[in-house]
């Protein structure tokens, strides 16, 4: 595409418009909560008939194209690599990076929460109030955990029986496996037979990316609606009793993004972290507003190819994998939340148990759905392993939305860093290939 995703043809850059929408939605939502209350009839009406629908339309436009985009991009990525040995090498590098960076994030979270001990600061009376307030929601999460465990069955189910059903169910792992097989098969048939299918997939990919452009024009309004819904419902009152926990999670996420990932970008990738952030901020804002790695995938792909200059065969291969496997922020959040709730319920963990928490955080983060709240059912499963009642998740549900937005942002930050790392290690991209951003006037 000739037009960068950072520009919309108007005088104000897209990321500025999105941030402005985010700010307006947050300020108006908090003001409505403080002046009228989250359950006031007017606030409810605005959420039901105005802010909610606009936000959901924006989300649905993104989710609408996830499946065709994942299939087309991964298939083209594998076919573009040319041979299965090269695809295996690139995939091996990507998966190794995913595991190591996610383990690093989880370990960082455990160290910080063990030092800060926010669970010991929560008043027992407030704990009981939160348990009662969110008991119903917690019960449904506990039930969902029974069907969301990560084990050998999860690995078997990656090999989908029916790719059409996987598409309907938004089963990205199943679609990714089918696309990998489809792309591998394309490399094994004569080039003249594969050419029409590759041409079709390239056209499909171009069409989907164009739809991303349509969706991003709605992004400032969709973001404002989504944030208004969160802030008008909760305001500040839930942050007060859980302030220490929220600060620990957000602080740890910031340290991982601004320190750990920046070191990787500077040392292993050879790019200035400030330049990298400047080029990917549209994707980060989308991640923050949607709380969905899957929903952000279209924007992330366009960002990697257009704003970073990463070859499509690498971006299209690594990013879809990363959206389901490179969960830096989720693993960090899960580790902190498990230790926090253990502290709240007076459960002391040994060093060996802390290591188990780290490993389980990495594994379940990889198995989590890339949708809002997708990690919560799996998190319940980890809690029960250490004697914390599954219903204890109710304590953090009230503030999970803002934390979900934050950890998804770090997930996507990590995905794009992984993509740049793999591209650099393959010798097909370096920092000098980052395109200059056009300054477009109205």
Q: Give the residue with greater pLDDT, 129 vs 414.
A: 414
- Determine if the pTM surpasses 0.75: no
| Weakest-pLDDT range from 47-51, 101-105, 150-154, 342-346 | 150-154
Residue-level pLDDT at 67: 82
What percent of the chain stands above pLDDT 90? 29
Question: How many Cα atoms within 13 Å fall on the side-chain side of residue 64?
Answer: 15
- Domain residue spans of the chain: 14-433
For residue 145, name the pLDDT band (cuts at 50, 70, 90).
Answer: very low
Query: Residues 175-191: pLDDT tens digits?
Result: 878 988 898 888 888 88
Name the nearest CA neighbour of 260 among 365, 420, 94, 105. 105
Taking alpha carbons only, the member of 181, 192, 154, 172 closest to residue 326 is 172
Rounded Cα gap, residues 78 and 69, in angstroms: 14
What is the three-class DSSP state of 370?
coil
pLDDT digits (tens, 9 = 90+) for 216-271: 788 788 878 877 886 787 666 656 667 889 899 999 999 999 999 999 999 999 99
Q: What is the mean pLDDT of residues 346-354?
A: 82
Round to whole Å and give the CA distance between 421 and 108.
Answer: 21
CA distance linking residue 244 with residue 11, whole number of Å = 41
* H-state helical runs in 345-375: 351-367
- Which residue is listed with tokens 């418009």? 17
Superfamily the domain 14-433 falls into? Sodium:dicarboxylate symporter (1.10.3860.10)
Q: What is the pLDDT of residue 15?
A: 65
φ/ψ region of 82 (left if φ > 0, alpha if ψ in -120 to 50, else beta) reads left
pLDDT of 25 reads: 85
Amino acid 79: pLDDT: 78
Q: Which helix (H) or strand (E) holds 70?
A: helix 66-81
Residue 347 CA from chain centroid, whole number: 30
Q: Which two tokens stand for residue 69?
A: 């985009």
């Amino acid at each position: 595409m000739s037009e960068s995703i950072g520009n919309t043809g108007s005088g104000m850059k897209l990321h500025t418009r999105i941030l402005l929408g985010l700010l307006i939605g947050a300020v108006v939502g908090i003001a409505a909560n403080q002046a009228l209350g989250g359950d006031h009839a007017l606030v409810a009406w605005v959420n039901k008939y105005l802010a909610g629908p606009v936000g959901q339309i924006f989300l649905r436009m993104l989710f609408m194209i996830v499946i065709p985009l994942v299939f087309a991009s991964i298939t083209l990525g594998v076919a573009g690599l040319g041979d299965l040995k090269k695809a295996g090498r690139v995939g091996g590098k990507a998966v190794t990076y995913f595991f190591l960076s996610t383990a690093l994030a989880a370990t960082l979270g455990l160290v910080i929460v063990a030092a800060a001990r926010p669970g010991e600061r929560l008043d027992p009376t407030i704990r009981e109030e939160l348990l009662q307030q969110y008991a119903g929601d917690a019960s449904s999460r506990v039930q969902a955990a029974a069907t969301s465990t990560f084990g050998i069955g999860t690995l078997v189910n990656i090999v989908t029986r029916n790719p059409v059903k996987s598409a309907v169910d938004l089963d990205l792992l199943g679609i990714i496996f089918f696309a990998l097989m489809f792309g591998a098969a394309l490399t094994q048939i004569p080039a003249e037979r594969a050419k029409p299918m590759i041409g079709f997939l390239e056209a499909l990919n171009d069409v989907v990316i164009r739809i991303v452009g349509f969706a991003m024009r709605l992004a400032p309004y969709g973001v404002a609606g989504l944030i208004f819904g969160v802030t008008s419902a909760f305001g500040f009152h839930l942050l007060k009793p859980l302030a220490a926990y929220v600060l620990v999670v957000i602080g740890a996420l910031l340290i991982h993004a601004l320190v750990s990932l920046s070191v990787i970008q500077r040392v292993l990738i050879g790019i200035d972290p400030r330049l990298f952030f400047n080029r990917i901020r549209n994707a980060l804002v989308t991640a923050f507003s949607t709380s969905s790695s899957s929903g952000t995938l279209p924007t992330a792909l366009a960002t990697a190819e257009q704003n970073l200059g990463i070859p499509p065969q690498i971006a299209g291969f690594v990013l879809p994998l990363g959206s389901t496997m490179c969960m830096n922020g989720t693993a960090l959040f899960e580790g902190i939340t498990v230790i926090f709730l253990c502290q709240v319920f007076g459960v002391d963990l040994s060093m060996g148990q802390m290591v188990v928490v780290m490993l389980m955080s990495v594994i379940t983060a990889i198995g989590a759905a890339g949708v809002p709240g997708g990690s919560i059912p799996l998190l319940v499963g980890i809690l029960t392993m250490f004697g914390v009642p599954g219903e204890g998740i109710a304590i953090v549900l009230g503030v999970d939305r803002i934390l979900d937005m934050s950890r998804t942002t770090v997930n996507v930050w990590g995905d794009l860093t992984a993509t740049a790392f793999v591209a650099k290690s393959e010798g097909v991209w370096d920092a000098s290939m980052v395109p200059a951003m056009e300054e477009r006037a109205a």
